[in-house]
Amino acid sequence: MRCPFAIWLRGPLEKTGYNGSQKTHAKVGVVLHTMEYESEPAWDDAGTLYNALFSEREASWTFSICKFFGGALLFQHYEIGAVCWAQGWQGNLWLDSIETEGIAPGKFTEPQLALLVKTLRWIEEAQGWRHHWIVTGRQATLIPQLAPAIFEHAQVPGAPATNCAVFTNRQIDGAKLLAALNAEEDDMTEAEIRELIQKVILEHLPLAVQFDGDPNVYFFGGLTRVDSPDYLAGVKVVSLPSDAKAQLLPKHFPDGGRVAP
């Protein structure tokens, strides 16, 4: 399942599962990570993430929350439920993962925290969970009764030791995070979400887009049709709802800009 207010930046399928199988698994919570880097300039987040996802490093994760010109952007790389490689074998099976741009012990920015809360609420609703709770101490095992738990990396059974410890490093105040999760929610409408995503794409990320239900890939600037699928190698494709097609194509794709899949 894909988050409606995330920009889809697909990670490689080969960086999921074990032994070529077990690509998805039931989840009982979420692990919060820090990326341990700062992207400069801010508009290069997509390129930095793409390179990290497709590098030889054996690492993959579900979401990325990046700083963006004083605000924050959410990228989704795998659907929730995917078995990514982020926090050890047991954690990868049972937990989704959210990477947030920053270097410990630097605190998350207010826009990042607000987007984290919104993302956790969406995961909670999508999974049919009731309320998140924050784990204390390192766990010996993960069981479904824990759901929906929030972990830092160091608390996950069998996770390798790293500096990624958002609560221990005081990058996030756990009590404030729970209070925000339980506060009255002021949701953006679907139209506002779509407008924001389109604004970001059109102004800062000159990538390609693909609309739900349409196998074609469209490039900004009205590029002519290219029949070779090799042309798509390395291109970052952003997914948008099908109803955005009528709004975007006439204005931003005057010559069609269509590439056969």
Residue 175 belongs to a domain with what CATH number?
3.40.80.10
Query: Both 160 and 104 in a single domain?
Result: yes
CB 171 within 8 A of CB 35: no
Residue 201 falls inside a structural domain: no
Query: Both 11 and 134 in a single domain?
Result: yes
Query: How many domains, in total, are found in the chain?
Result: 2
Residue 1 falls inside a structural domain: no
Query: Both 71 and 167 in a single domain?
Result: yes
| Whether residue 253 has pLDDT greater than 70 | no
Residue 198 falls inside a structural domain: no
Q: What is the pLDDT of residue 191?
A: 63
Residue 170 falls inside a structural domain: yes
- In the chain, alpha helices (H): 45-53, 88-94, 110-127, 174-182, 190-204, 245-252
What lies within 8 Å, CB to CB, of 203 at 6+ separation is none
Query: Both 88 and 162 in a single domain?
Result: yes
Up-side HSE of residue 66: CA atoms within 13 Å toward CB?
A: 26
pLDDT confidence band for 258 (50 / 70 / 90):
very low
Query: Both 136 and 238 in a single domain?
Result: no
Residue 190 falls inside a structural domain: no
Query: Both 26 and 73 in a single domain?
Result: yes
pLDDT confidence band for 226 (50 / 70 / 90):
very low
Query: Both 45 and 169 in a single domain?
Result: yes
| Whether residue 182 has pLDDT greater than 60 | yes
Residue 49 falls inside a structural domain: yes
Query: Both 171 and 99 in a single domain?
Result: yes
Residue range 64-80, pLDDT digits in tens: 998 887 788 899 999 99
Residue 69 falls inside a structural domain: yes
Alpha carbon distance 233, 183 (integer Å):
44
Exposure pattern of 26-56 as b/e (b: 16+ CB <10 Å)? ebbbbbbbbbeeebeebeebbebbbebbeee
**Which helix (H) or strand (E) element contains residue 79?**
none
Rounded to an integer, the average pLDDT of 36-55 is: 67
Where on the phi/psi map is residue 154: left (φ > 0), alpha (ψ -120 to 50), or beta? alpha
Q: Are strands 237-240 and 208-211 parallel, antiparallel or unpaired?
A: parallel
Alpha carbon distance 254, 256 (integer Å):
6
206: three-class secondary structure by DSSP? coil
Query: Both 176 and 238 in a single domain?
Result: no
Calculate the average pLDDT of the chain.
75
Residue 24: which domain range?
A: 7-182
Query: Both 51 and 132 in a single domain?
Result: yes
Rounded to an integer, the average pLDDT of 90-112 is: 89
Q: Alpha-carbon dihedral of residues 88, 29, 132, 191, nearest 10 degrees?
A: 120
pLDDT confidence band for 205 (50 / 70 / 90):
very low
Q: Which of 72-76, 167-171, 198-202 has the least mean pLDDT?
A: 198-202
Residue 197 falls inside a structural domain: no
pLDDT confidence band for 233 (50 / 70 / 90):
very low
pLDDT confidence band for 239 (50 / 70 / 90):
low
